[in-house]
């Protein structure tokens, strides 16, 4: 992963990117791109949805992907930080899985290059799903006979129940989790009645004060980059304000925890701004409870600006226009459990 932070940071602070002239407003695609070695198929999506909802791949049999990424709501868990096996608390706010296919790296610190890679993390995280290793996860999977026909349908006959194929299936399902046709999307496609006047004004403010320096592109998480190449930004960039201690914004070193480079301290992947009304509380800390406050915090810490109340309200109204259409989904049917699976 080659970080491109330096040039962009400089540009952002100087205000070169994200001026009203430069911004190109883009709608969310209705289909996510898939890697060449994992084209999205109906059979993979079906299997991936089963795996996503199945709690039997956690040590206690109680935690699934769905536990912290509630696709019946905002794709997160509405908690400051998540709860894993044995009631343990995670360290960061769960990012939404909705539109995660439009991130070029995964996790807040970008430590996974792809959705496939990401899916292999939580099962073996001792705080999250708590399995001893991926082999143990695979053993659980193979001990449920009802999964075999679904793997064969998705990946062909023979011994296709592997960690790599399970990861591919989960990623394929996640690539279907897209929320198109928000008022914003319809507006930029030409339906000028799709947003209110306040939202249109808020959109202009959002751009003119500099939010679009980082939050640009179809998913409002920065430029479209190749898979594995992250778009990171320092947060807080301006640390000389009361928000930093109030919301514990510097207690976590961010990307530095992965790279162990001092220059990566407090660098974070720029998150999407879509469906924010469903994903409170906010920030990697989950310490900021409302969108109003999140806008104030970001303006101060990233742009060194104190916004007027009308500016805040306009931007929040605009952010509300980024809530899209959640596709109707059927529940998966999970295969029967052998009695000795969970001790």
Residues of this chain that interact with a copy of itself (CB under 8 A) are: 53, 55-56, 60-62, 67, 70-74, 77-80, 83, 85-88, 277-278, 280-282, 288-291, 326, 328-342
Nearer to a copy of itself (CB atom), residue 291 or residue 303 = 291
What whole-number distance in Å separates Cα of residue 253 and Cα of residue 260? Answer: 10
Based on CB atoms, which residue is closest to a copy of itself, 79 or 248? Answer: 79
Residue 334 CB, shortest distance to a copy of itself, in Å, is: 4
Q: What's the half-sphere exposure (Cβ side, CA atoms, 13 Å) at 316?
A: 16
Least distance to a copy of itself, CB of residue 128, Å: 13
Closest approach of a copy of itself to the CB of residue 329, in Å: 5
CA 273/CA 95 separation, integer angstroms: 11
Instruction: Tell me how far CA of residue 223 lies from CA of 230, 264, 270, 324, in angstroms.
Output: 10, 20, 10, 20
Nearer to a copy of itself (CB atom), residue 76 or residue 264: 76
Residue 268 bridge partners (DSSP): 233
Minimum CB distance to a copy of itself, residue 155 (Å): 22
Distance CA 30, CA 325 (A): 11
Q: What minimum distance in Å lies between the beta carbon of 84 and a copy of itself?
A: 9
Which tokens hold the place of 265? Answer: 């301290």
Is residue 302 within 8 A of residue 162, CB to CB? The reply is no
* Closer by beta carbon to a copy of itself, 193 or else 336: 336
Catalytic entry in 30, 46, 73, 128: 128
Indicate the DSSP class of residue 155: H
Q: CB 88 → a copy of itself: shortest distance, Å? A: 7
Closer residue to a copy of itself, CB minimum distance, 80 or 222 = 80
User: In residues, how long is the chain?
Assistant: 343
Residue 128 falls in the annotated catalytic set: yes
As a whole number of angstroms, the distance between CA 59 and CA 128 comes to: 9
Q: Taking each helix axis as running N to C, give the angle between helix 148-155 and helix 42-53, from 0 to 180 degrees, rounded to the nearest 10.
A: 140
Tokens (6 digits) for 128: 């999250």
CB closer to a copy of itself, 202 vs 281: 281
Structure token digits, residue 1:
């992963």
Contact 247, 283 (CB under 8 A): yes
The residues carrying an active-site annotation are 128
């Amino acid at each position: 992963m080659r970080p491109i932070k330096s040039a962009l940071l400089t540009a952002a602070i100087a205000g070169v990117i994200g001026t009203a002239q430069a911004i190109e407003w883009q709608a969310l695609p209705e289909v996510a791109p898939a890697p060449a070695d994992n084209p999205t198929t109906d059979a993979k999506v079906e299997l991936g949805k089963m795996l996503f909802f199945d709690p039997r791949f956690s040590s206690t049999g109680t935690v699934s992907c769905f536990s912290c990424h509630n696709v019946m709501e905002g794709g997160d868990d509405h908690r400051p930080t998540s709860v894993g096996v044995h009631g343990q608390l995670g360290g960061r706010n769960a990012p939404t899985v909705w539109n995660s296919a439009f991130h070029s790296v995964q996790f807040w610190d970008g430590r996974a290059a792809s959705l496939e890679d990401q899916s292999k993390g939580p099962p073996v995280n001792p705080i999250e799903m708590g399995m001893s290793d991926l082999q143990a996860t695979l053993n659980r999977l193979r001990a449920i006979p009802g999964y075999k026909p679904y793997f064969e349908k998705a990946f062909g006959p023979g011994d296709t129940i592997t960690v790599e194929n399970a990861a591919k299936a989960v990623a394929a399902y996640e690539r279907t989790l897209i929320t198109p046709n928000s008022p914003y999307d319809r507006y930029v496609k030409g339906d000028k009645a799709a947003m209110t006047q306040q939202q249109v004004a808020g959109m202009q403010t959002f751009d003119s004060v500099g939010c679009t320096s980082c939050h640009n592109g179809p998913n409002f998480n920065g430029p479209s980059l190749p898979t594995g190449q992250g778009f990171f930004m320092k947060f807080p960039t301006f640390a000389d304000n009361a928000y930093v201690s109030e919301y514990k914004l510097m207690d976590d070193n961010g990307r530095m925890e992965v790279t162990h480079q001092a220059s990566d301290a407090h660098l974070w992947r720029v998150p999407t701004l879509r469906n924010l009304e469903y994903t409170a509380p906010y920030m990697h800390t989950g310490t900021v409870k409302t969108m109003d406050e999140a806008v104030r915090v970001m303006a101060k810490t990233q742009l060194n600006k104190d916004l007027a109340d009308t500016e805040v309200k306009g931007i929040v109204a605009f952010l509300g226009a980024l809530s899209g259409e959640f596709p109707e989904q059927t529940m998966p049917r999970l295969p029967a459990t052998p009695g000795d699976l969970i001790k």
